[in-house]
Amino acid sequence: MNFEQARFNMIEQQIRPWEVLDSQVLSLLAMVKREDFVPRAHQSLAFADLEIPLPPHSHPSQCMLSPKVEARMLQDLAVQKHEKVLEIGAGSGYMAALLAHRAQQVMSLEIEPSLAASARDHLHQAGIYNAQVLEQDGSGPLGAPELAGSFDVILLSASVAEIPSSLKAKLKVGGRLMAIVGSEPVMSATLLTRLGESQFRTEQNWETVAPRLQHFPEPSAFRF
As annotated, the active-site residues are 61
What CA–CA distance (Å, rounded) separates 110 from 62?
10
Residue 115, SS3 per DSSP: helix
What CA–CA distance (Å, rounded) separates 92 from 158?
13
Query: Could you tell me whether strands 52-53 and 63-64 are parallel, antiparallel, or unpaired per DSSP bridges?
Result: antiparallel
What CA–CA distance (Å, rounded) separates 189 from 200?
16
Are 95 and 157 in contact by the 8 Å Cβ rule? The answer is: yes
Q: How many CB atoms lie within 10 A of CB 53?
A: 16
What CA–CA distance (Å, rounded) separates 145 from 224?
43
> Which element (helix H / strand E) includes 53?
strand 52-53
Residue 94, SS3 per DSSP: helix
Query: Looking at the chain, how many residues does it have?
Result: 224
Residue 163, SS3 per DSSP: coil
Are 159 and 211 in contact by the 8 Å Cβ rule? The answer is: yes
